[in-house]
Amino acid sequence: MVDTPQSLSMPGLEDGRKADEPCTIVIFGASGDLTARKLIPALYHLYTEGQMPASFRVVGFARREKTDESWREEMRLGIEKYSRTSSVDAAQWQDFANNLSYHRGDLTDADAYGGLAGRLAGFDDAALTGNLVFYLAISPSLFGEVVDQLHAAGLLKRFEEGDSNWQRVVVEKPFGHDLCSAQLLNNHLIRHARERQIFRIDHYLGKETVQNIMMFRFSNAIFEQLWNREAIEHVQITVSEDIGVGSRGGYFEEAGTLRDMMQNHLLQILSLVAMEPPPSLEAEDIRNEKVKLLKSIRKMTPGVVAKNVVRGQYFAGTVDGDNRGGYRQEERVNPESNVETFVALKLFIDNWRWSGVPFYLRTGKNLPHRASEVRVQFRPTPNVLFAAQDDLDLHANALTLRLQPDEGISLRFNGKVPGNSIETRPVRMHFGYDAEFGAYTPEAYERLLLEAMAGDATLFIRRDEVETAWQIVDGIRAGWGDTPLSNREFYAAGTWGPVAADDLLAADNHVWHIPVPAK
């Protein structure tokens, strides 16, 4: 049973959106990379822009020995190195840093949680003791342990209507490694909290252009009327990375690209692009439509997988002039590994709107450049009026939603070249966020942390959404079985993937669209 939503807002549509209720944010994994690179810089920017509550505290929880002062200094250096601003205002930093404190403790030590409870109880505002956001920037294997310990220490309880205070738990991916493990983890988390208190992060959902997909689709009649099988021939979603696995070889050997990227990021984007209009902008109505869309994806049987899914693995090559080694030569990688670093697949959505329209999804590492985009190709016009013009080069109309970098939207259509001949050329109308709204685009974690404090779950993933996505991925992995990679599934670093991925589209007389590099 789905809990009643706590918010009626649509993220990104309100000017000056602010988390108004006083609260304390407890970051587990305060010594980790994510905290210094993303979380504290995001909170700092929210503070400087007046979007944090008037009263707030941030408590870092980790095993290493630190003082409040030493942790604050580490976080300041992190902001200077990783944030979107080039400098830190000394006065603003000091005001912000006064709200930061560090609590040393082992995640499995009950006394450490008792000490944390004591520290929170000492805050001068009672709401800072009761309104709590627990951010679990730790290994997923410890999520259940931390939730159990928080409940035992009296810091986390199931929310009941009429409660004067609230607690929320924010968890990072990976959320399980298959359907069974995700279900076990979900069951563990809701022992001591309701589903609506669990905020599962996919940072892609915090990106401005991803959020804008709904506004683009449902507020523009010229596009919404075309957003169906009658007008659209096919859709491509590409998320390319120009880096290899680096130091994450051990993790990648367990996960692979299918679990690491396809199960969450790409299926999330797909659900927003293809879902039906929700009846309202309430978080649960939006998430209901996303789940319905994922459940409409045609089942991945072994036969479908063999025909419609391609794996790939990079070998040595060059990316932007930089020599890269092969995946099997990476640190902590089996020299005979068959783990995929690239996945391309063709999906069909079996509902009225999208019946028969193929959706092509691909993602991979060590590709030529970093880019994320949605490419919608419309059906061509009948070749009647210009049939006699043999040399006429007519291209299908296409709409591209560029998610990163250089966020924007472009529309391709045919235009006549000036002159006496009938010569056409594809032309583009382009909307860029920087040009229209200025260079400022909030970091994904800024939006996500703000929504977690405000209790708006729209940009977070619900339990049934996670489990439905795992059902799709598990079907693909079962179809692969123990079959080794073929020669057509290897690709050189710096190329756009294996030959088999091109074959996948060639079978339908389509080709992959190559994303434009960043400016």
136-151 in b/e form (b: 16+ CB < 10 A) is bbbebeebbebbbbbb
Residue 281, judged by CB atoms within 10 A of its CB (0-12, 13-18, 19+), counts as middle
Q: How far is CA 277 from CA 8, 204, 273, 290, 438, in A?
A: 16, 21, 11, 10, 30
The answer to whether position 16 is within a domain reads no
What is the token pair recorded at 441?
A: 């685009």
Q: How confident is the model at residue 18 (pLDDT cuts 50, 70, 90)?
A: low
Query: What pLDDT does 11 receive?
Result: 39
Q: Is 3 helix (H, G, I), strand (E, B) or coil?
A: coil
Q: What is the mean pLDDT of residues 437-454?
A: 81
Mean pLDDT of 496-507: 96
pLDDT at 162: 74
Q: What is the CATH number of the domain that holds 316?
A: 3.30.360.10
Residues across the chain: 519
192, 265, 510, 513: which is the annotated catalytic residue? Answer: 265
* Domain membership flag for residue 121: no
The predicted pLDDT at position 204 comes to: 75
Rounded distance between C-alpha atoms, residue 452 and residue 162, angstroms? 20
Alpha helices in 155-246 (DSSP H): 179-189, 208-219, 221-224
Are 462 and 11 in contact, with CB atoms under 8 Å apart? no
> Which domain, by its residues, includes 301?
206-506
| pLDDT tens figures, 253-306 | 999 999 999 998 999 999 999 999 999 888 899 999 999 999 999 999 999 999
Distance CA 472, CA 304 (A): 12
φ/ψ of residue 56, rounded to 5: -155, 160
Provide the number of structural domains found in the chain.
Answer: 1
Q: Would strands 309-315 and 198-200 be described as parallel, antiparallel, or unpaired?
A: unpaired
To the query of whether residue 265 is one of the catalytic residues in this protein, the response is yes
In a domain, 384, yes or no: yes
- Ranges assigned E (strand) in 151-202: 167-171, 198-200
Q: How far apart are the first and last CA of the chain?
A: 47
How many whole angstroms from its chain centre is CA 431? 23
DSSP H or E segment with residue 503: helix 499-506
For residue 479, the number of C-alpha atoms closer than 13 Å in the C-beta half-sphere is 21
Quote the CA–CA distance of 156 and 135 in Å, as a whole number: 13
- Higher-confidence residue of 489 and 517: namely 489
What's the 3-state SS for 270-336?
HHHHHCCCCCCCCHHHHHHHHHHHHHCECCCCHHHHHHHEEEEEEECEEECCEEECCHHHCCCCCCC
User: Residue 86's pLDDT band (boundaries 50, 70, 90)?
Assistant: low
Tokens encoding 52: 């944090």
What single DSSP character describes residue 349? B
Whether 129 is in a domain gets the answer no
What percent of the chain has a predicted confidence (pLDDT) above 90?
66
- Contact status, residue 136 vs residue 29, Cβ threshold 8 Å: yes
Q: Are 199 and 168 in contact (CB under 8 A)?
A: yes
Residue 108 or residue 385, greater confidence: 108
Task: Look at residue 371 and tell me if it is in a domain.
Answer: yes
Q: Rounded to 5 degrees, what are φ and ψ at 303?
A: -65, -40
Identify whether 302 is part of a domain: yes
Domain membership of residue 173 (yes or no) is no
Nearest to 339 by CA among 371, 314, 369, 370: 314
Q: Considering the domain boundaries, does residue 419 fall inside one? A: yes
* Cβ burial, residue 413 (10 Å; 0-12/13-18/19+): middle
Asked if 462 and 180 touch (Cβ cutoff 8 Å), the reply is no
Around Cβ 388, how many Cβ atoms within 10 Å?
8
- CA–CA separation, 262 and 266 (whole Å): 5
- Given this model, what pLDDT does residue 464 score? 94
CA atoms within 13 A on the CB side of 347: 31
Q: pLDDT tens digits for 360-387?
A: 999 999 999 999 999 999 998 876 566 5
Q: What's the pLDDT at 391?
A: 60
Q: Give the mean pLDDT of 34-53.
A: 93
In tens, the pLDDT along 216-264 reads: 889 889 888 999 999 999 999 999 999 999 888 888 999 999 999 999 8
Q: Which residue has the higher pLDDT, 356 or 436?
A: 356
pTM, 2 dp: 0.89
Q: Residue 255: enclosing H or E segment and its boundaries?
A: helix 249-257
Strand order in the sheet with 23-28: 100-104, 56-62, 23-28, 132-136, 167-171, 198-200
CA quadruple 381, 387, 389, 392: dihedral, nearest 10: 30
DSSP annotation of 487: G
